[in-house]
Amino acid sequence: MTDVDLPTEVSEAPMSANRLSPTLNPPSSSSLSHNAKSPSQSHSPNPSSSSPASKPRLVPTNSVTLQDGTTVRVRIEATLAVEDVVRQLCISVKIKDPPNMYALRDENEELVTNENLKKKIKQKTNLKLVSSPAVEAAEIITKLQARDRLGITLTSLRKIIREEQFAEEFLNKDGLHELIGIINTNQGNILAYALTAMQNLMELDHGWSELTDDFIFRVVQILSSPNSLINVCRPATAILKKLVEADPMTAPGPQLASSSRSPPFQPPGSVYKFGFEVVYEQMRKEQRLLETVVSRLGSADTTMALYSMMLINSLLAHAGDARWEEFVGEIERLNVRKAVIRLMSSHTIEDLTSCILDFQANMVRVTYRKKITVVEPEFEPGHFESLAYIWTSSQVHEEPAGEGGTLKWRKLGFDSEDLSQEFKEVGVLGLDCFKHCITQDPDFFAKVIQEQLSRPPERRCPIAKASNEVVDLLSEHWAIFGPGYSTSTTFQPFFLNFYKVHDLATHFFLRMWNESAATHGDFSRVAALVRSQVKVALRTENVRAWHEVESDFNECEYQAVRDRQMRELELEDDVMSKVPIRNMRAKLYKESFEFVRRQRIHCLMQGAWFMNAMPLASNTPRDTIRKPSCPWKFMRLDPNMKYIHFVDSQVKFVLRNGIEDLPDRIDVSLISEVTTNTCAPFPQAVLRGGDPVDFTAGYHTAASPLSFSLLTSSGSSLADLIAPDQSRWADWVDGMNMLRRDGGHVASNETQTFVQALTEIGLKIRLLNLSGDKAEIPSGIHAGHPPTNSDFFFSELYDSQG
């Protein structure tokens, strides 16, 4: 072959001839040095001079494989645009077709863009001259229209549709319409490939805003069928999840105030027009959908269970007020809690850990919302029906109480007949727990009520009041203090069994009352016994068996509990158990969580170095795993908290503040999950350029405890990293989780400990203020009776000199 020299002037893109100079044969070391010389060298009077000022600037050389298989060596100036590189290359190798019909890809089929060109040049990446995204999109759409070899066409489409340039061309040529048509009319593997292509397209934040209710219902039908193939259900589940998360209220934009109910303004074509309400409306047409999705939590295919868990979490996190009660009722009816508890004990890989912790955090929000929802039997038919069932099950009759009143609910252990006031502290959660306790054995409940009514009034155990007290104690134990404030880093199967634990603790309350011969004034003393037993029975719940909990509540004797409680009182001031102090702790807990959240996000804005890692999770698509070009990655969150900017490097170096030194970025809105313990260091041979690892085979490398991955809703990884130390790992893993719009969960013990420590320190400071002022802390705060009429006014107060 003969060498081809680049023309010294190119009218289409005027520049120095040395910016791009291809040769058909790989040059020897001497010719490479010759071809790399700069213009200043060629005019230098003394080329052999060793002076630093005259040292040549070597431009990296890349190999480019043409479509006919010929390989050329080129030197590319990093300041060029990709289209200029392609145009000059076409001119140099005498390609007659218009340059806009061509593009460059690397050996991993990644499209070369203006954003990554500099990196490709620096790393001397081998490139290929291929058809441009516009040509590829036109060819694929033509094949889709002809239904020609759909399997091969869709396999190619699902890989390259992630690329922004190809996707735009595909959408501009109405490719979305053709893809939806294939989804509507096909089954089996063809449907799976088409759904995967749609799933990958939906990772973009534009282009799919015109999806209709008919399409959503089609996806719902696919998921509702128990006969659908696993490879069909996986992308269909991810698509539905993405539609749920495209909620106008969670659209990118200025952070909304907690009291605001208006979504941020979105430009025309925004995909944030769907959300829970739109999707759930279609879900209601297929009653089997939720049931089928829940059944797939027990699938032998871990990825299918993972996708199903992620869909349930998204629905819980985005459920709107209009359908919230209905949806949560369905979740409870299908016993999703039990299915998740089975996953806790049966799953053998780390893939599901993050999703299970997310589910726990969502259930904390559900529990808290129930706790603050007022019981209103006059306005809510569901509340009225629950209370009617409770009253009927008691087999007690109303009695007149004098002055026109009746003695009804006080017979069951309430302090008054005003049920809204009685359930004020525990809300609908207390009502649900009391009802569940009765449904387990209605005859036993009726027997207990009759037994209590047969005793003198001062000796009766107030069953209903005891039930509410147990709800309050369990809420305190599991830190049910507010929405989004869950710091558990381990599985909590007993929390997911909240109703069963409530049953056990309520029966324990009754037994302690009877065994201690308690009277009406001893209610707080018995409640303190129950609190002590709750701490013991529910300790280390991530490793204890359920039968041990039952044994602790059912078999522990009164004297043993009393002795232990007295020992505890010697170490803890009794003031800590009073209701105002517990309420103060709940408030401080939320403030501490928010403080730690701000601190973690500030760490993200400071930035940190990480090691690029090899993902080990089985759900990671093999075609997305690539050996890293550089071993190190520096990441930093921008001030608007929309993007994580990063740079890959062979060595660590000092970076300036800001994002000027960070050319690449990750869209935070794409991060659907932060998984931990999922990566291992790449072998050094791979980092040096060798390739001893089979990236399509199973891995046998142990995961690093400091590793984490940023995953999209489709399960593909945006980054696989290993932190330099435990502190940096905790900062970033919990910071990324707290940054997610659905709240996420806390993954590190460090964050959990910080929140608890700040809460306790704040509480002690408040108590020191109270004790310094010698203020008495009451056991409870009771509001007085409302005025009997409106014949009153508020007087204006003036000081003595006014």
Q: SS3 string of 726-782?
A: HHHHHHHHHHHHHHCCCCCCCCCHHHHHHHHHHHHHHHHHHHHHHHHCCCCCCCCCC
Q: How confident is the model at residue 572, as a pLDDT? A: 61
pLDDT of residue 743: 60
Indicate if 116 and 161 belong to the same structural domain: no
Per-residue DSSP letter, 171: H
Assess whether pLDDT exceeds 80 at residue 50: no
Percent of the chain with pLDDT over 70: 79
Q: Flag whether 264 is in a domain.
A: no
Residue 155 and residue 125 in one domain: no
Regarding whether 125 and 142 lie in a shared domain, the answer is no
Band (pLDDT 50/70/90 cuts) for residue 685 is very low
Nearest residue to 592 via CA among 354, 765, 470: 765
Q: Is residue 640 part of a domain?
A: yes
Residues belonging to the chain: 802
Are both 79 and 41 inside the same structural domain?
yes
Are 601 and 738 in contact, with CB atoms under 8 Å apart? yes
Burial of residue 589 (CB within 10 Å: 0-12, 13-18, 19+) is buried
Task: Give the pair of three-digit tokens for residue 282.
Answer: 């279609």
Is the distance from CB of 669 to CB of 205 less than 8 angstroms?
A: yes
Q: Do 235 and 319 reside in the same domain of the chain? A: yes
Alpha-carbon span 574 to 584, nearest angstrom: 15
> What's the pLDDT tens digit per position in 84-107?
999 988 888 888 889 989 999 988
Is the per-residue pLDDT at 38 higher than 70? no
**Is pLDDT above 60 for 442?**
yes
Q: Are residues 640 and 709 in the same domain?
A: yes
pLDDT on residue 269: 78
The pLDDT score that the predictor gives to residue 742 is 60
Q: Which domain holds residue 678?
A: 591-752
Tens digit of each residue's pLDDT (9 = 90 or more) over 390-420: 999 999 888 776 665 668 899 999 998 899 9
CATH of the domain at 31: 3.10.20.90
Lowest mean pLDDT among 54-58, 630-634, 785-789: 54-58
State the pLDDT confidence band at 800, using cuts at 50, 70 and 90. Answer: very low
Burial (Cβ within 10 Å: 0-12, 13-18, ≥19) of residue 349: middle
DSSP string across 577-599:
GSHHHHHHHHHHHHHHHHHHHHH
Is there a domain that residue 785 lies in? no
Answer yes or no: are the C-beta atoms of 127 and 121 closer than 8 Å: no
- CB count within 10 Å of CB 794 equals 5
Sign of CA dihedral 503, 510, 571, 778: positive
- pLDDT tens digits, 239-280: 999 999 888 887 766 544 344 456 667 777 788 889 999 999
Let me know whether 109 and 139 are in one domain.
no
When mean pLDDT is compared across 60-69, 497-506, 576-585, 730-739, the lowest value belongs to: 576-585
Q: Are residues 465 and 614 in the same domain?
A: no
Q: Which residues pair with 783 in a beta bridge?
A: none
What mean pLDDT do residues 660-686 have? Answer: 79
Q: Per residue in 320-379, pLDDT tens?
A: 888 999 999 999 999 999 999 988 877 555 568 888 888 998 999 999 999 999 999 999
Strand partners, 61: 75
In this prediction, residue 684 has a pLDDT band, given cuts at 50, 70 and 90, of: low
Q: Based on C-alpha coordinates, what's the Rg of the chain?
A: 33
pLDDT for 486 beyond 70: no
CA–CA gap between residue 341 and residue 363 (Å, rounded): 13
Regarding whether 463 and 331 lie in a shared domain, the answer is no
Assess whether 508 and 644 both reside in one domain.
Answer: no
pLDDT above 80: residue 591? yes
Q: Which of 513, 539, 572 is the last residue of a domain?
A: 572
pLDDT range class, residue 692, cuts 50, 70, 90: very low
Which of 215-219, 493-497, 518-522, 576-580 is predicted with the least confidence, judged by mean pLDDT? 576-580
Q: Above pLDDT 90, what percent of the chain?
A: 38
What does the angle CA 680 – CA 686 – CA 690 come to, to the nearest 5 degrees?
A: 160
Residue 610 is given by DSSP the state E
Question: Into how many domains does the chain fold?
Answer: 4
Q: List the one residue out of 167, 184, 187, 164 whose CA is nearest residue 175.
A: 167
CB proximity list for 546: less than 8 A, separation 6 or greater: 493, 494, 497
Q: Residue 565: CB partners within 8 Å, gap ≥ 6?
A: 528, 529, 532
pLDDT category at 773 given cuts 50, 70, 90 is: very low
Kindly state the average pLDDT of the residues 563-569. Answer: 80
- Angle of CA points 648, 751, 305, to nearest 5°: 75
Give yes or no: residues 138 and 127 share one domain: no
Q: Is 445 helix (H, G, I), strand (E, B) or coil?
A: helix
In angstroms, the Cα distances linking 645 to 98, 268, 367, 784 are 35, 27, 37, 57
Residue 254 lies in a domain: no
Greater model confidence, 179 or 42: 179
CA distances from 777 to 43, 577, 768 (A): 90, 11, 12
Q: Is the predicted pLDDT of residue 311 greater than 50, yes or no? A: yes
Give the CATH number, domain containing residue 332: 1.25.10.10
Report residue 386 as tokens.
Answer: 């629950």
Domain assignment present for 699: yes
CA distance 730 to 743: 16
Are residues 463 and 542 located together in one domain of the fold?
Answer: yes
Mean pLDDT, residues 166-170: 93
Residue 759 lies in a domain: no
Query: Does residue 709 lie within any of the structural domains?
Result: yes
Nearest-CA neighbor of 566 among 529, 538, 530, 540? Answer: 529
Pick the last residue of a domain from 113, 131, 149.
131
In a domain, residue 606? The reply is yes
- pLDDT (0 to 100) of residue 6: 38
- The per-residue pLDDT for range 330-346, each reduced to its tens digit, is 999 999 999 999 888 77
